[in-house]
Amino acid sequence: MLTIDLTGKHAVVAGVADDGGFGFAIAKALAEAGATVAVATWPPALGIFKTMLERGKFDASLAMKDGSKLTFSKIYPLDAEFDRLEDAPAELRESRRYKDLGDFSIAGLAAAVAADGGADIVIHSLANGSEVKKPLLETSRKGYLSALSASAYSNVSLVQQLGPHVRKGGSFISLSYMAAERVVPGYGGGMSSAKAALESDARVLAFEAGRKWGHRVNVISAGPYASRAASAIGFIDQMIDYTRRNSPLTESITAEEVGATAAFLSSPLASGITGTVVYVDKGFAAMGIAVDKEGAAPA
């Protein structure tokens, strides 16, 4: 019987701040497959996340299939907009939420992971667009570049700096969305551009990191899902409803399905897969015309 076995593997999931998103679901799936899992959390959310864990607010979500409870080996601070600590403005480094965290940059994460023995799996579950509600025609240069920095270049930096500390044959996975390829009105502020860059970069990184370290680099393009972060877009429920009504499979996706896909891609079963975008969207990306419109072909 083929099984997803990650026993003895160490994973770092960057972008976990609650129990409601893809990052958490991926962390749990990796743990269910036997991996030891650490997470990296944005400093402004770090204190609340740790408090919620300590008070048992996530206990139901942390419950594993074997009756045990998911625990994180480490919770690292990470602000992925900064490659090095000195890149962060002094006022930010000295602010209340940052000043006691040490090196919260991507280089700081890489150093901490190296000090903790390295890793085998790295998950990039990071995205932010300060002007995501603005049409592209109204997006400022600052907002556009900020979206690319936080959502796309952060993955380049993650592979660049953690690559040497990931054991040969390691797996890097990032999370994208169909707006990388098609127009999704309302998904603005440069976020569609950032997702397109994320996917393009992954192909190049797959070649470069594969030749340099033997690592694999893949992308999961998930369908719309009402995580707390995605809800900030403002019309996530309509996105989910439209996708459900026009997909080959009419159920909404679950975070668990994305987690299971990440566990597979991180495992030896996927050793021949790299530079690939895997769609977890009930087949919506395969559709060329809506089927819930008058005059459309019958289902």
Residue 298: the pLDDT is 44
Cβ contact 289:296 at 8 Å? yes
Whether 242 is catalytic is no
Catalytic residue among 98, 177, 225, 242: 177
Residue 217 has pLDDT above 70, yes or no: yes
Query: How many Cβ atoms sit within 10 Å of the Cβ of residue 94?
Result: 10
Cβ contact 225:255 at 8 Å? yes
- Transcribe 246-266 into DSSP letters: TSSS-SPP-HHHHHHHHHHHH
Q: pLDDT by residue (tens digit) across 228-283?
A: 676 667 678 888 999 999 999 999 999 999 999 999 999 999 999 999 999 999 99
For 75-84, letters b (16+ CB in 10 Å) and e give ebbbbbbbbe
Q: pLDDT by residue (tens digit) across 18-44?
A: 999 999 999 999 999 999 999 999 999
Percent share of the chain, pLDDT over 90 = 90
Whether 177 is catalytic is yes
Give the class (CATH, top level) of 10-278: alpha beta
Catalytic residue among 98, 144, 187, 225: 187
Query: How many Cβ atoms sit within 10 Å of the Cβ of residue 204?
Result: 12
Q: Domain coordinates of the chain in residue numbers?
A: 10-278
Q: pLDDT by residue (tens digit) across 63-100?
A: 999 999 999 999 999 999 999 999 999 999 999 999 99
Residue 297 has pLDDT above 60, yes or no: no
Q: pLDDT by residue (tens digit) across 88-142?
A: 999 999 999 999 999 999 999 999 999 999 999 999 999 999 999 999 999 999 9
pTM: 0.94
